[in-house]
Amino acid sequence: MKLAFIALALAAALLPRPAAAGNAEDAIALSQEAVGQYLPDLAFTDTDGSTVRLMDYRGKPLLVSMIYTSCADVCPTLLESLYPAVKVARKALGDDSFAVITVGFDTRNDTPSRLRAFARTRGIDIPNWTFLAADEESLDALARTVGFGIYSRAGGFDHLAQVSLIDARGRLSQQVYGSVFEPPVIVDPLKALVFGRFEPLRSVDGLIDRIRYFCTVYDPSSGRYRFNYSLFVSVGIGIACFILIVVVLAREWRRSSASGARPS
């Protein structure tokens, strides 16, 4: 069932580059083997013609997707589905808590102007979401690092519909597959990165982020995340009860000690 889902996520591509086997098993194996790698400091060109380096994104989580502008089905669907999930994440986690880049992998045709038009046509206008054009060298290095395979087929190429989650240190943390995303598919793993779910507690700020992680929950009825105050209150009540029990036990112990110390 899993492989069938992955196979459905394969989208047509046009970039002519050699590849090994183009089946779903090879694609997902390549993708999963990349988890744990660190992004190199590669240079790309944004839709304004400015140079953007991957090192510029260190310090906060990053979502990476790769598309080509001539795609008429899965690539547009992927971004149009990712867009509302990113909007939900910004409201739940903070506008500047993470960034998103989409790299055009048809290096001959995915120019800054075409990427700008592609984003505008899909209504993608989020400030921290940048569309990037690449040269062959930078594209190959990025594709290897995030495990993005492009596979030859008659008349074009296939690739996984994939979003890569990068942590604040530039490490590939997780892959998300599929051309359609419900918000939790993207926001839940992103929430763990933003709030340092897997980082050791070293400060009060870290403790606050940990509380925010556990108390920020998805509400299916509204399609949004909200801070669950009831959970926070429950934790507070539990701590208060624990302290009260400790105080009562301490008083009883002192009382018993005082009674035992009196002369008979």
| Contact predicate 35/154, CB 8 Å | no
Which pLDDT band, with edges at 50, 70 and 90, does 44 fall under?
Answer: very high
- The DSSP bridge partners found for residue 177 are 162
Q: In what order do the strands lie in the sheet with 156-160?
A: 10-13, 156-160, 150-153
96-124 pLDDT, tens digit per residue, is 899 999 999 988 889 999 999 999 998 99
Which of 241 and 49 is assigned the larger pLDDT?
49
pTM: 0.72
Q: Which amino acid is at 176?
A: V
- For 79, residues 6+ apart whose C-beta sits below 8 A from its C-beta are 65, 67, 102, 122, 124
| Contact predicate 163/180, CB 8 Å | no
pLDDT of residue 183: 85
| Contact predicate 88/188, CB 8 Å | no
pLDDT of residue 238: 75
Both tokens assigned to 31: 């993708």
- The CATH superfamily label for domain 2-226 reads Glutaredoxin (3.40.30.10)
CA distance 105 to 64: 12
Q: What are the structural domain ranges in the chain?
A: 2-226, 228-261
pLDDT of residue 152: 58
pLDDT of residue 17: 39
* pLDDT score of 155 more than 70: no
Both tokens assigned to 178: 């599929």
Q: Which amino acid is at 217?
A: V
